Amino acid sequence: MTSAKQTISPVRVVKKNGIRVEVYEDAEAVSAAAAAMIAGRITASSKFNLGLATGSTPIKTYDELVRIHEAGELTFSHVTSFNLDEYVNLPPTHDQSYRYFMMKHLLDRVDIPLYNTFVLNGQAVDVDAECSAFEGLIKARGGVDLWLLGIGGNGHIGFNEPGSAVDSRTRVVTLDDCTRADNARFFATLDDVPTHAVSAGVQTITDSHAVLLLATGAGKANAVAAAVAGDCSVDCPASLLQGHDDTTFMVDVQAAKML
């Protein structure tokens, strides 16, 4: 592993449709570069609002942020976090809930004040009110400075599945069959995968001052190519980032192979 101060260089940089794509040798290098960027921005600011994602892809980035924190080179004391999404009807103590994931991989391992960590409550009695409150909170805190994203094989960002409107906001969404099938690996059976989630909308994400999307592995190659080089279309929600003026993709060679 690298020191927090060491620079990881991409093997290739592609700029297309307003998106900067940094291609790294492998997933380790992507994680190191992503953590270095996030740590740098947090450190450069006296108050930082960080958007977070769950999923397999950012786990190594979170490990690296924890390592930099433990090395005494990064504090989260002035950071507020907002998570993209949460399953509907899973309690936060369920080991597949996104609150549980975030506590395990990052929030419990750094010095972020827990009262400044926001994950949507998928068990809220009034889920629509929960979604509006989340939007209101982001606004009241001054907007998200940097939103870290993964990408689904179908191009989804957050749980904004294909067809999600460019001006969508935080809301209840129905998960695509392919997304449920992708996530079934984390549950005992496919039937156990929730059918609904609450998710920040496309507009909630594109309102962020900066966006950093990570993708690793050949399974993401089509989605990355469609997002960067395809039409800006709701058919590939990640392509809607083409209209954003500070979006970086950090991907490995495998995920970049169709670019």
Question: What is the distance between the alpha carbons of residues 227 and 255, in angstroms, rounded to a whole number?
Answer: 12
Residue of the chain from 51, 122, 152, 194 that contacts ligand F6R (CB under 6 A): 152
Residue 55 vs 201, nearer CB to ligand F6R: 55
Which listed residue (51, 55, 122, 155) binds ligand F6R by CB under 6 A?
55
Q: Does 57 bind ligand F6R (CB under 6 A)?
A: yes
Q: Check residue 170 for interaction with ligand F6R (CB under 6 A).
A: no
Q: How far is the CB of 69 from ligand F6R (least distance, A)?
A: 21
Catalytic residue among 64, 86, 130, 161: 161
Catalytic-residue membership of 161: yes
Count Cβ atoms below 10 Å from residue 137 Cβ, excluding itself.
13
Find the catalytic residue in 49, 154, 160, 183: 154
Segment (H or E) for 52: strand 48-52
Helix residue ranges per DSSP H, 59-176: 59-70, 98-105, 127-140
- Residues numbered 80-119 forming contacts with ligand F6R, rule: CB under 6 A: 84-85
Tokens of 250: 């950090």
Q: Is 209 a catalytic residue?
A: no
According to CB under 6 A, which one of 67, 105, 156, 171 is a site residue for ligand F6R? 156
Residue nearest to ligand F6R (CB): 150
Bridge partners (DSSP) of residue 198 are 86, 172
Count of H-run helices and E-run strands, the chain: 7, 11
> Minimum distance from CB of 46 to ligand F6R (Å)?
27
Distances, alpha carbon 132 to alpha carbons 138, 186, 249, in Å: 10, 29, 29
Instruction: For CA atoms 185, 147, 243, 202, give the dihedral sign.
Output: positive
Contact flags string 9-48 toward ligand F6R, x per CB under 6 A: ----------------------------------------
Q: Is 159 near ligand F6R (CB under 6 A)?
A: yes
Query: Would you say 168 and 207 are in contact if contact means Cβ atoms under 8 Å apart?
Result: no
In the bound state with ligand F6R, the residue whose beta carbon lies nearer, of 83 and 242, is 83
167 is catalytic: no
| 201 lines the binding site for ligand F6R (CB under 6 A) | no
Buried-exposed string 215-235: b where 16+ CB fall within 10 A, e elsewhere: bbeeebbbbbbbbbbbeeebe
CA quadruple 138, 160, 84, 33: dihedral positive or negative?
Answer: negative
Chosen residue from 3, 56, 77, 174 binding ligand F6R by CB under 6 A? 56
Burial of residue 43 (number of CB atoms within 10 Å: 0-12, 13-18, 19+): middle
213-242 binders of ligand F6R (CB under 6 A): none
From 22, 64, 85, 130, the catalytic residue: 85
Active site residue 22: no
- The pair of three-digit structure tokens given for residue 216, joined into one six-digit string: 């690793």
Catalytic sites, residue numbers: 85, 154, 156, 161
Query: Which residues are near ligand F6R by CB under 6 A?
Result: 53-57, 84-85, 150-152, 156-159
